[in-house]
């Protein structure tokens, strides 16, 4: 009886051990199946190495500095005041030797050589390049400055309108006005010494009898010449009009 009892105990103890082994085998099989069926796209998370962490620590974040806006300079409208240096050398305003017995302040106009002289003393004069009357409109004689005007208005005389009917009957003074920045009126005539908005005509014979200077030069002359100053216009050729009529053409 005792031997049977011992064998029965042995069998009872052996059953649980076999169950455990079976369970373990099943667990291993399940684990292997799960590893085989793991998605290929899923990658295990790798921790960065110490070297990578140190390298990343030394990489500084780039600083973006906004560039300052570029200022666009818009040139302001310019009033026509041509520089003397833009003219040929002989037409540049300058003090020259000039022998004259006229009083200082007298204006002498050499229409033949397109020069205007302002007498400074017995041996010197300020010389300006000028534009003069075209063929048939040149004149000579002596006049007096009776009036001076800054940025003069322009009213073309009847004679000029009859030749050029497209001209305006009136034009207010300003940079676009053909009389330019200054005008000095001569006696009872329509002739003037004035500026121009066409500086390329200086040194040429293009006007209807008026004497024109660049705006820069006429402003300089304007400040030097007084009302009442004598103006002498020298003859260019023998056929010039010896003395301007009382109502002559301008420009």
User: Taking a C-beta distance cutoff of 8 angstroms, is the pair 145, 116 a contact?
Assistant: no
* 89: phi then psi, degrees, rounded to nearest 5: -55, -40
pLDDT at 79: 40
Contact 132, 205 (CB under 8 A): yes
At 20, list the tokens. Answer: 């455990």
Active site residues: 194, 210
pLDDT at 220: 98
Per-residue pLDDT at 167 exceeds 50: yes
Distances (CA, A) of 203 to 136, 183, 198: 17, 18, 12
**pLDDT of res. 165:** 82
pLDDT in tens, 30-48: 565 555 444 444 454 555 5
In this prediction, residue 245 has a pLDDT band, given cuts at 50, 70 and 90, of very low
State the chain's mean pLDDT as an integer.
76
Residue 114: name the closest of 30, 212, 180 by CA. 212
Q: Is the Cβ–Cβ distance between 197 and 178 less than 8 Å?
A: yes
What are 79's strand-pairing partners?
A: none
Could you tell me the two tokens for 223?
Answer: 């400040």
CA gap 168, 152 in Å, rounded: 15
Q: Per residue in 178-209, pLDDT tens?
A: 999 999 999 999 899 999 999 999 999 999 89
- What is the per-residue pLDDT for 42? 44
The answer to whether 81 touches 215, Cβ cutoff 8 Å, is: yes
């Amino acid at each position: 009886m005792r031997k049977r009892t011992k064998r029965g105990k042995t069998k009872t103890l052996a059953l649980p051990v076999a169950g455990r082994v079976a369970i373990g085998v099943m667990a291993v099989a399940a684990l292997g199946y799960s590893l085989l069926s793991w998605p290929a796209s899923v990658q295990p998370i790798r921790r960065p190495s110490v070297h990578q962490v140190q390298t990343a620590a030394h990489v500084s974040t780039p600083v973006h500095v906004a560039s300052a806006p570029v200022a666009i300079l818009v040139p302001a409208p310019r009033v026509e005041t041509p520089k003397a240096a833009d003219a040929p050398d002989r037409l540049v305003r300058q003090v020259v030797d000039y022998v004259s017995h006229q009083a200082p302040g007298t204006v002498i106009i050499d229409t033949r050589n397109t020069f205007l002289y302002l007498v400074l003393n017995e041996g010197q004069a300020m010389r300006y390049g000028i534009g003069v009357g075209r063929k048939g409109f040149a004149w000579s004689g002596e006049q007096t400055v009776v009036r001076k005007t800054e940025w003069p208005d322009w009213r073309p005389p009847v004679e000029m309108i009859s030749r050029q009917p497209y001209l305006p009957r009136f034009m207010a003074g300003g940079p676009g006005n053909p009389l330019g920045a200054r005008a000095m009126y001569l006696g009872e005539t329509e002739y003037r010494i004035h500026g121009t908005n066409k500086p390329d005509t200086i040194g040429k014979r293009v006007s209807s009898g008026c004497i024109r200077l660049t705006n820069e030069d006429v402003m300089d002359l304007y400040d030097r010449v007084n009302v009442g100053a004598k103006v002498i216009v020298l003859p260019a050729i023998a056929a010039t009009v010896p003395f301007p009529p009382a109502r002559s053409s301008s420009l």
